[in-house]
């Protein structure tokens, strides 16, 4: 067994658990409690979630623009430490501006950690083990969602400050473990890409990746609140279905990666988008726990697994020297569409108070993404 490789993969899992699973997705199960405790109004809480996604865009832009060499371990630890600090600092209620600073920061650090894990862990793995290593690393996102969904209902009786502090402490512990186990490595400086290698099939896949970002936003920002407040099922049920989404997401990358090896990346990607569209609209068509479970599982598996599928589809359409620039363009497309749609959905919810409208729009966007990938195959 290649122990340095798997130490790096497990470090990636902990980084994704911290920067994405807890810091980003762990916010959604807290929204009903923040509203109930009168820390923020529902609209303000959702706007804070949208601000986090804007930080995601800033993090993507910053990592794409940086061309110098990177001491990976040092930067990973710095980003994880900043994430832990931001979560712990959120335990004090000093108003929406104060909270917005920390939500923005966790968006920046989370996205930067995702880019680093792709380059420093997955990118350095042997081709034969890339899917396995990528599955381990990116499973941390789903594991963090699941952990947040399970922990938060148990922590909330101790109060919101206690809940934030424990979540931040868990991230700090993960940072310490990464400091011990992660092998040092350096990402060398890279010259500016001369072209992104855009042709029609590639452009369609990039567009589809942006559309699915729109489709995922309601489950990021509103899922727990839709269940707890919109369906009147309570905070515990909202957090439980968020945990189920996280559990499904933890298996999304390895499962879809293996399926793509058998069926092809574009075919699997198109089918995954179609399935996600159906699962997104499912709670509006099937009442009760069955519809919520199908939606949590289906969206969870696909929404994070498309990172592996999209990168694999692009790799099959492009020469190696053009892949990095085009993957960077795709991630920027995802970040821009997600940030813009988060603001749009938050505004729309404030104007209408309708959760159902948000999920109908999301399902339509994801269906359009499936159509783009089907078209790219032609």
Across the range 12-22, mean pLDDT stands at 90
Do 222 and 242 fall within a single domain?
yes
More confident call, 36 vs 88: 88
- Residue 253 belongs to domain with CATH number: 1.20.1250.20
Query: In the predicted model, is pLDDT for residue 169 greater than 80?
Result: yes
Measuring CA to CA, which residue among 25, 377, 370, 24 is closest to residue 211? 370
CA atoms within 13 A on the CB side of 169: 9
Query: Which of the four pLDDT bands, split at 50, 70 and 90, describes residue 273?
Result: very high
Q: In the chain, what is the straight-line distance between the N-terminal and C-terminal CA atoms, in Å? A: 42
Do 17 and 81 fall within a single domain?
yes
CA atoms within 13 A on the CB side of 194: 1
Query: Which of the four pLDDT bands, split at 50, 70 and 90, describes residue 324?
Result: low
Measuring CA to CA, which residue among 358, 336, 22 is closest to residue 217? 358
Query: Which of the four pLDDT bands, split at 50, 70 and 90, describes residue 58?
Result: confident
pTM for the structure as a whole:
0.75
Which has the minimum average pLDDT: 88-97, 183-192, 287-296, 346-355?
183-192
Give residue-wise pLDDT tens across range 99-146: 999 999 999 999 888 777 766 676 566 666 666 677 777 778 878 877
Do 188 and 212 fall within a single domain?
no
> What range does the domain containing 213 cover?
195-378
Do 183 and 274 fall within a single domain?
no
Across the range 251-262, mean pLDDT stands at 80
Q: Mean of the per-residue pLDDT values for the chain?
A: 83
Q: What per-residue confidence (pLDDT) applies to 262?
A: 79
How many domains does the chain fold into?
A: 2
Do 203 and 150 fall within a single domain?
no
Which residue, of 192, 218, 247, is where some domain finishes? 192
Tell me how far apart the alpha carbons of residues 81 and 178 are, in angstroms, rounded to a whole number.
Answer: 11
Residues linked to residue 187 through DSSP beta bridges, in sequence order: 70
CB 321 within 8 Å of CB 194 = no
Which residue, of 140, 173, 192, is where some domain finishes? 192
Q: What per-residue confidence (pLDDT) applies to 334?
A: 86
Which residue, of 140, 170, 192, is where some domain finishes? 192
Q: What per-residue confidence (pLDDT) applies to 280?
A: 92
């Amino acid at each position: 067994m290649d122990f340095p490789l798997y130490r790096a993969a497990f470090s990636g899992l902990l980084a994704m658990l911290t920067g994405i699973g807890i810091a980003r997705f762990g916010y959604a199960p807290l929204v009903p409690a923040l509203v109930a405790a009168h820390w923020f109004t529902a609209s303000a809480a959702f706007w804070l979630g949208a601000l986090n996604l804007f930080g995601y865009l800033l993090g993507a832009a910053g990592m794409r623009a940086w061309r110098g060499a990177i001491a990976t371990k040092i930067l990973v630890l710095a980003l994880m430490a900043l994430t832990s600090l931001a979560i712990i600092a959120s335990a004090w209620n000093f108003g929406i501006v104060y909270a917005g600073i920390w939500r923005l920061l966790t968006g920046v650090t989370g996205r930067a950690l995702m880019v680093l894990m792709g380059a420093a862990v997955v990118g350095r793995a042997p081709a034969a083990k890339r899917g396995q290593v990528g599955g381990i690393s990116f499973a941390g996102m789903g594991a963090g969602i699941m952990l947040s969904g399970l922990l938060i209902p148990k922590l909330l009786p101790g109060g919101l400050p206690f809940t934030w502090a424990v979540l931040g402490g868990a991230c700090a512990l993960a940072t310490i473990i990464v400091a011990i186990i992660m092998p040092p490595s350096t990402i060398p400086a890279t010259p500016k890409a001369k072209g992104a290698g855009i042709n029609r099939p590639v452009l369609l896949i990039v567009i589809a990746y942006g559309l699915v970002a729109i489709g995922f936003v309601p489950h990021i920002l509103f899922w727990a609140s839709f269940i707890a407040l919109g369906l009147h099922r309570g905070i515990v049920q909202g957090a439980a279905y968020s945990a189920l989404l996280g559990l499904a997401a933890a298996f999304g990358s390895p499962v879809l990666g293996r399926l793509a090896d058998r069926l092809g990346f574009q075919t699997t990607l198109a089918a995954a988008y179609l399935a996600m569209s159906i699962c997104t609209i499912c709670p509006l068509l099937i009442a009760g726990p069955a519809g919520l479970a199908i939606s949590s599982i289906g969206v969870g598996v696909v929404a994070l697994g498309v990172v592996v599928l999209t990168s694999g589809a692009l790799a099959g359409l492009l020469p190696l020297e053009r892949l990095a620039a085009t993957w960077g363009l795709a991630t920027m497309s995802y970040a821009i569409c997600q940030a813009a749609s988060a603001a749009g959905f938050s505004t729309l919810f404030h104007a209408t108070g309708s959760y159902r409208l948000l999920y109908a729009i999301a399902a339509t966007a994801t269906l359009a993404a499936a159509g783009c990938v089907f078209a790219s195959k032609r």
